[in-house]
Structure 1
């Protein structure tokens, strides 16, 4: 989260394998600096994943502040960052 208390979602990369068995690495703790590309929130008219009812619990098909505000316990910016290369 930023100093304002809002969160800016960050896509850290993709995981190989099945969606149900994927182990997601923990997010870094403490203060971090992120350098990436700022993206606008996706919506039903954008190219998000069309997987209604097809994703495991906790996974979303598009990155949208309107969706995330119902999942996380804090406000989010209406944008997201994608890293230029996946983290190891």
Structure 2
């Protein structure tokens, strides 16, 4: 995704992280559905500004997704799939 229309992420900026949620059960229910969570950008990939490291705030605790070790998170403003980030909606 191109970030030309969006601001470039930078360390300390607040974004939304889309949680994966739990798998859907055979009866169609889901214990924890995918949801937007508050997150703070902790790192930005110099070669791909859409790829960032995040500190995610969840009701049950904090989770960290560093750039190293495959924990980075990619921008996805269009489909907002689980495991991606996007800018908060303007209200």
- Shorter-normalised TM-score: what interval? under 0.3
> Which structure exhibits the higher relative contact order, with contacts defined as CA atoms closer than 8 Å and separated by 6 or more residues?
1
TM-score of the two chains, using structure 2 as the length reference: 0.25
